[in-house]
């Protein structure tokens, strides 16, 4: 089989790495890919939003399966375009990817199908939004309706802060058209987990549990990022929490999407907030999480390709996914300044030394090649991911890898996975 992976971040490197292990696969292309991916696949210089060029490439190269990593091409309708031209593709169609592309849509869906989530209101004018904020009180959460690269959520500690965020979003100053509508919701407390499942619109196969680390600094301090590290399994997802997530969140959501005439195929990622054993949904994503994908795929024993193909064919029945008992931990190494303005072009030292460690893989995210040397080219630069007999062992190995790599201004959290230890000890 010939496979095309769309994207060029750590998630796509992990997908390519896993797909490359399949005996079914003869050749992998990745658009646009990155220097790490280039060791396993042929990079094609097409951007993820250049849908017509991607189609033309897949069509002329007779690609057997296209796997879409990021949300942007999904929300632009890449799956519709490919399917309408008879090509097999893994991911939801545009009318289903809206579950991530519009927070107002996903909140209304959850309300309609009684999926537990925070109380909320949707607004496109300042005055009623201000009245809602005053009535609810702070802390309160203001979210841009549309895609904002993980940055469209403001946790406001005061009503004034929330009102300022609403004004900023509705005026179009923050997040452009993505903020022309806002969701304002009740502030939830508890511990977060990422719950991902693969579905053909009927059957649901949950993936192993995972936990992300959204904040930039240790102890969950500082602004939110795309994710500074992740691990799997996540002990906060007890068997009871897993069952609740499946029965009260994933199942009614997948069934609800079908009932709405928006059958959901692909991977559905539910962001969970768990408090006292009760689970609520923070958000849905229409794709694999990044960095969650890295530890999840390192733990996946089964061949991923038949599963992806079954979803593209619309029939997952009879499929199962097996997991290694080992734990996996991914530590993200980021550029100085991230998640704000960051510098690019710093030479990365030590990649070869890190590669010598067994059970460790360095996934590339924002990297580039300059004069034959690997340099930083994004906010999140690398995802150093390790397997271990326990979360503790995987943490130790991942940080041994991190210690071998450096560049000027590199920053990373030193407490990835720590939450799992406080639960299992
Ligand atoms: P979202 O993209 O909607 O998941 O929001 C990004 C992050 O903001 C989440 O991972 C949480 O850390 C935080 N967040 C979102 N909604 C809420 C909420 N209702 N209460 C508390 N924190 C939230
Ligand atoms: N790691 C969070 C996300 O992929 O949205």
Query: Residue 179: its pLDDT value, please?
Result: 75
pLDDT category, 424, cuts 50, 70, 90?
A: low
| CA-proximal residue: ligand 2, atom 3 (nearest) | 289
Q: What is the pLDDT of residues 103-148, one digit of tens each?
A: 999 999 999 999 999 999 999 999 999 999 999 999 999 999 999 8
Residue 423 pLDDT > 90, yes or no?
A: no
Is residue 30 classed as helix, strand or coil in its secondary structure? Answer: strand
In 3D space, the residue among 153, 163, 158 whose CA is nearest the CA of residue 192 turns out to be 153
Cα(12) to centroid(ligand 2), Å = 13
Tell me which of 152, 231, 269 to substitute to probe ligand 2's pocket, judged by most ligand atoms within 8 Å of the beta carbon.
Answer: 269
Query: Residue 422: its pLDDT value, please?
Result: 85
Annotated domain spans of the chain: 2-94, 119-186, 191-312, 327-421
Cα(313) to centroid(ligand 2), Å = 26
Residue 348 pLDDT > 80, yes or no?
A: yes
Q: What is the pLDDT of residues 68-104, one digit of tens each?
A: 999 999 999 999 999 999 999 999 999 999 999 999 9
In 3D space, the residue among 156, 139, 148 whose CA is nearest the CA of residue 174 turns out to be 148
Residue 151 pLDDT > 60, yes or no?
A: yes
**Phi, psi values for residue 52, rounded to 5°:** -65, -40
Ligand 2 binding residues, C-beta < 6 A: 150, 212, 226-227, 285, 289-290, 292
Query: Residue 38: its pLDDT value, please?
Result: 98
**Phi, psi values for residue 170, rounded to 5°:** -70, -25
Same fold, 119-186 and 327-421: no
The ligand 1 atom nearest the CA atom of 103: 3
Q: How many other C-beta atoms are found inside a 10 Å radius of the C-beta of residue 411?
A: 16
Judged on CB neighbours under 10 Å (0-12, 13-18, 19+), 86 is exposed
Is residue 78 classed as helix, strand or coil in its secondary structure? Answer: helix
Q: What is the pLDDT of residues 355-366, one digit of tens each?
A: 999 999 999 999
Ligand 1 binding residues, C-beta < 6 A: 118, 141, 143, 153, 155, 185-188, 192, 214, 224, 271, 282-283
Is residue 53 classed as helix, strand or coil in its secondary structure? Answer: helix
Residue 184 pLDDT > 70, yes or no?
A: yes
Return the ligand number nearest the Cα of 230: 2
CATH for the stretch 327-421:
3.90.600.10
CATH for the stretch 119-186:
3.30.1490.20
Contact 100, 73 (CB under 8 A): no
Return the ligand number nearest the Cα of 365: 2
Residue 227 pLDDT > 60, yes or no?
A: yes
**Phi, psi values for residue 203, rounded to 5°:** -75, 145
Cα(212) to centroid(ligand 1), Å = 12
**Phi, psi values for residue 130, rounded to 5°:** -65, -40
Q: Which CATH class is domain 2-94?
A: alpha beta
Instruction: Please give the distance of CA 157 from its chain centroid, rounded to a whole number.
Output: 26
**Average pLDDT for 180-184:** 93
Return the ligand number nearest the Cα of 282: 1
> pTM above the 0.85 mark?
yes
Topology annotation, domain 191-312? D-amino Acid Aminotransferase; Chain A, domain 1 (3.30.470)
**Average pLDDT for 219-234:** 95
Q: What is the pLDDT of residues 370-400, one digit of tens each?
A: 999 999 999 999 999 999 999 999 999 999 9
Query: Residue 425: its pLDDT value, please?
Result: 43
In whole angstroms, give the CA distance from residue 409 to residue 250: 41
Cα(85) to centroid(ligand 2), Å = 30
Is residue 400 classed as helix, strand or coil in its secondary structure? Answer: helix
Cα torsion for 412, 417, 418, 422, to the nearest 10°? 170
Q: How many other C-beta atoms are found inside a 10 Å radius of the C-beta of residue 8?
A: 27
In whole angstroms, give the CA distance from residue 288 to residue 75: 14
The ligand 2 atom nearest the CA atom of 150: 5
**Average pLDDT for 203-232:** 96
Query: Residue 174: its pLDDT value, please?
Result: 76
Percent of the chain with pLDDT over 70: 100
Q: Does the bond joining 233 to the residue before it have cis omega, within 30 degrees of 0?
A: yes
Is residue 394 classed as helix, strand or coil in its secondary structure? Answer: helix
In 3D space, the residue among 263, 208, 254 whose CA is nearest the CA of residue 232 turns out to be 208
Residue 261 pLDDT > 80, yes or no?
A: yes
**Average pLDDT for 213-229:** 94
- With a CB cutoff of 8 Å and minimum separation 6, the contacts of 395 are 231, 329, 386, 388, 416, 417, 418, 421
Cα(205) to centroid(ligand 2), Å = 19
Q: What is the pLDDT of residues 395-413, one digit of tens each?
A: 999 999 999 999 999 999 9
């Amino acid at each position: 089989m010939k496979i095309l992976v769309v994207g060029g971040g750590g998630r796509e490197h992990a997908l390519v790495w896993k797909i490359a292990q399949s005996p079914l696969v003869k050749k992998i292309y990745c658009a646009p890919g990155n220097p790490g991916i280039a060791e396993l696949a042929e990079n094609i210089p097409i951007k993820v939003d250049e849908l017509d060029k991607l189609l033309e490439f897949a069509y002329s190269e007779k690609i057997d399966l296209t796997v879409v990593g990021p949300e942007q091409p999904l929300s632009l309708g890449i799956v519709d375009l490919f399917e309408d031209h008879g090509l097999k593709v893994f991911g939801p169609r545009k009318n289903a990817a809206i579950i991530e592309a519009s927070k107002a849509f996903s909140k209304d869906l959850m309300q309609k199908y009684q999926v537990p989530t925070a109380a909320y209101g949707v607004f496109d004018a300042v005055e009623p939004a201000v009245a809602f904020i005053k009535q609810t009180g702070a802390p309160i959460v203001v979210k841009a309706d549309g895609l904002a690269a993980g940055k469209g959520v403001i946790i406001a500690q005061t009503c004034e802060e929330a009102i300022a965020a609403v004004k900023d979003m509705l005026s179009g100053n923050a997040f452009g058209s993505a903020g022309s509508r806002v969701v304002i919701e009740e502030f939830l407390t508890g511990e977060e987990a990422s719950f991902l499942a693969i579905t053909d619109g009927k059957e649901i196969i949950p993936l192993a549990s995972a936990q992300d680390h959204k904040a930039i600094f240790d102890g969950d301090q500082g602004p939110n990022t795309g994710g500074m590290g992740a691990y799997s399994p996540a002990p906060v997802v007890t068997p009871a929490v897993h069952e609740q997530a499946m029965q009260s969140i994933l199942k009614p959501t997948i069934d609800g999407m079908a009932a709405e005439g928006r059958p959901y195929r692909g991977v559905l990622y539910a962001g969970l907030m768990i408090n006292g054993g009760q689970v609520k949904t923070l958000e849905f994503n229409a794709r694999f999480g990044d960095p969650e994908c890295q530890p999840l795929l390192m733990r996946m024993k089964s061949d991923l390709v038949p599963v992806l193909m079954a979803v593209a064919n619309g029939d997952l029945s009879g499929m199962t996914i097996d997991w290694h008992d080992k734990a996996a931990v991914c530590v993200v190494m980021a550029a100085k300044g991230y998640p704000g303005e960051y510098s690019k072009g710093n030479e990365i030292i030590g990649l070869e030394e890190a590669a010598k460690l067994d059970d460790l893989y360095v996934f590339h995210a924002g990297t580039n090649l300059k004069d034959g040397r690997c340099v930083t080219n994004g906010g999140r630069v690398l995802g150093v991911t390790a397997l271990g007999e326990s979360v503790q062992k995987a943490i130790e190995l991942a940080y041994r890898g991190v210690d071998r790599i450096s560049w000027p201004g590199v920053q990373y959290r030193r407490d990835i996975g720590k939450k799992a230890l406080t639960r299992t000890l």
